[in-house]
Amino acid sequence: MMMMMMKTHPFAYEVNVTAAQRIRGIILGVVLFPVRITLATLFFLLMWPIARLRLAGLSEAERAEPVRGWRRWLFHHIMLLLSRAVFFSVGFLWIRVKGRQARLKEAPVLVVAPHSGFLDMLVLCATGLPMVVSRSENCRLPVIGALLEFNQSVLVSRKDPESRKKCVSQICERVTSDGRWPQMLMFPEGTTTNGRALIKFKPGAFLAGVPVQPVLLHYPGEPDTVRWTWKGLTWLGTLWHTTSQIYTSVTVEFLPIYTPSQEEKQNPDLYAENIQKLMAKALRVPATDYVMEGRFPVKKLGNLSLPLEPPAQETLKLLREHGLTNARVETVMNNVIDSCHSGQSTIVTADHLTTLLGLKDRKTAVKICSLYSKDDTVDLRQVCLSVSAVSGFRSLESLIHTVFTWYDSDQDGLLSAGDLSGLMGALVGIPQYEVEEMYSALTTRGRPTEASLQDLLMMHPVYRKVLHEYLHSSGLADGNHNGIPNGNNNGIYSVSPPTAQALTSMDCERKRMS
């Protein structure tokens, strides 16, 4: 099941072009790319001083109020014209509009999906430059900072919890101002996707419980070049392919206004989920519970985050490409586990990892480190446990025993919530920050012991899916696993991996006994 999700998840995209389209794109791109980028840059730079003029001379208190009078109608129309000129320059010769945009008092919020890339900002031209929400860090960027100031955008710092609270307060204040502030436009997915599915909507646009108007973005042309996702084209590649087309088609479709029920007003998550399903149905794509969490696209399972592309899967792939058979990888993982048990530091550099894994070049080790962390270091416990988990080298009991021993911080045979967070992060290969729900489920079974953890993963209706949908899910692709004994390994079990049938039998036996 995880392998299927890897093929279909919405965070990866590659432009599919025929040989003829590629040749035509190269020829047109050589001519059109420099001309269009030059024109777009000129219009973009013209927007800079005009954006600054709109609020020039106003005090901080005045800047905190919506712009009125001549400052609004004069500069607003100039900026709208220049914005349209930018997108016209890069190939959006016309924007087709379908449906009617709601008036401000009918729907204070416009929610737009799918969010495909930075070129989606053309929707601002079709909607009259409504307010947006942006990262506060963007204010330091040339031109972009001035445009955010012009827009009187709501700014949020993702690193500051207080900033998030202030952002929520500002959004609610503006959208419930009875028309004092302009309409607000938000991309509730919060990140870009390939448009083949809608990911879980963030609740920000729905916190105030006011009516919203769903807005769909369609790019019907072929090839589809505008997608800029977590894996795929770079932003420069997206610009090249888009400007190399004679024109790029886009349709902005306004759906009917959605007025929330009393239940939805009291539950923004439910409101967001219902709008997601409505828009997915209109787009004829699935509504998923996928989200982008930090650097990883994940599927939420309870409050756990399961990576759609597990770092362990990519690690196995890299090791196999490097010539290591499954039997060799298993031996290496056992050796790594031994080194972790020896009491040495488990945080190692790429150079050390190169030696431990028996790699011929450092580049592969650096790639493996990048799958788990932001620098050229990695926690060996995460590597060996997550790789063993997805490969099936070790049994469930062996994995739980190993990980429990390592993350039982005070060695009292009981887990704290922090211990559980580290433990689950090591098993699935990415950090787990929200384990309160899982820890509560664990403690309701009695003391948070190793046996209780096994029972939770085997029996709980939510967390047993970690087994059936993630752990031991990949199988052994090259069929070379030969059942090499695990050896002593400081008390690690020497049990061969249980099959799905064996897990099911164990479940049935536990149910019968209970």
Query: What is the pLDDT averaged over residues 372-386?
Result: 85
Q: Decide if 203 contacts 274 (C-beta within 8 A).
A: no
Asked whether the predicted pLDDT for residue 453 surpasses 50, the reply is yes
With H, G, I as helix, E, B as strand and everything else as coil, classify residue 361: coil
Question: Which run of H or E residues covers position 293?
Answer: strand 290-293
Measured from the Cβ of residue 429, the count of other Cβ atoms closer than 10 Å reads 26
Name the residue with tokens 């990048």: 370
The per-residue pLDDT for 486 is 34
- In tens, the pLDDT along 116-137 reads 999 999 999 999 999 999 988 8
Asked whether the predicted pLDDT for residue 480 surpasses 50, the reply is no
Which residues, including other chains, have CB under 8 Å from residue 146's CB and lie 6 or more apart? 47, 48, 51, 52
The per-residue pLDDT for 295 is 77
The per-residue pLDDT for 75 is 92
Q: How far apart are CA 279 and CA 127, in angstroms?
A: 18
* Global confidence as pTM: 0.80
Asked whether the predicted pLDDT for residue 344 surpasses 70, the reply is no
Q: Which of 193, 217, 8, 20 is nearest to 111 (CA)?
A: 217
The per-residue pLDDT for 79 is 95
The per-residue pLDDT for 395 is 77
The per-residue pLDDT for 457 is 87
Q: How far apart are CA 458 and CA 506, in angstroms?
A: 8
- ∠ CA 295-300-301, rounded to 5°: 140
Q: Decide if 123 contacts 219 (C-beta within 8 A).
A: no
Q: N- to C-terminal Cα distance for the chain?
A: 29
Burial of residue 341, with CB atoms counted within 10 A of its CB: 0-12 exposed, 13-18 middle, 19 or more buried? middle
Q: Which of 368, 87, 76 is nearest to 217 (CA)?
A: 87
Q: What is the mean pLDDT of the chain?
A: 85
Q: How far apart are CA 416 and CA 439, in angstroms?
A: 8
Query: What is the pLDDT averaged over residues 86-110?
Result: 96
> Between the CA of residue 247 and those of 30, 218, 370, what are the distances in Å?
15, 15, 38
Q: How far apart are CA 400 and CA 453, in angstroms?
A: 8
Q: Decide if 185 contacts 198 (C-beta within 8 A).
A: no
Measured from the Cβ of residue 501, the count of other Cβ atoms closer than 10 Å reads 8
- In tens, the pLDDT along 77-92 reads 999 999 999 999 999 9
- 258 secondary structure, DSSP code: B
* DSSP string covering 75-132: HHHHHHHHHHHHHHHTT----EEES-PPPTTT-SEEEEE---SGGGGGHHHHTT--B-
Query: What is the pLDDT averaged over residues 393-411?
Result: 84
Q: By mean pLDDT, which of 2-11, 144-153, 407-416 is the weakest?
A: 2-11
The β-bridge relationship of strands 296-301 and 377-379 is: unpaired
The per-residue pLDDT for 508 is 46
The per-residue pLDDT for 487 is 34
Asked whether the predicted pLDDT for residue 410 surpasses 90, the reply is no
The per-residue pLDDT for 343 is 62
Which residues, including other chains, have CB under 8 Å from residue 474's CB and lie 6 or more apart? 2, 3, 313, 316, 390, 391, 392
* 466-495: b (≥16 Cβ within 10 Å) or e: bbeebbbbbebeeeebeeeebeebeebbee
Q: Which amino acid is at 157?
A: S
Asked whether the predicted pLDDT for residue 187 surpasses 70, the reply is yes
Asked whether the predicted pLDDT for residue 61 surpasses 50, the reply is yes
Q: Decide if 138 contacts 144 (C-beta within 8 A).
A: yes
The token duo for 426 is: 């090591």
Confidence of residue 299 (pLDDT cuts 50, 70, 90): confident
Question: Which run of H or E residues covers position 451?
Answer: helix 450-459
Range with the largest mean pLDDT of 15-29, 259-273, 363-377, 403-417: 259-273
Name the residue with tokens 């290591």: 324
Burial of residue 220, with CB atoms counted within 10 A of its CB: 0-12 exposed, 13-18 middle, 19 or more buried? exposed
Confidence of residue 273 (pLDDT cuts 50, 70, 90): very high
Q: What is the layout of strands, in order, in the sheet containing 304-307?
A: 290-293, 296-301, 304-307
Question: Which run of H or E residues covers position 347?
Answer: strand 347-349
Query: What is the pLDDT averaged over residues 8-12?
Result: 82
Q: How far apart are CA 25 and CA 233, in angstroms?
A: 15
The token duo for 275 is: 């709008």
The token duo for 387 is: 């790789």
The per-residue pLDDT for 472 is 57
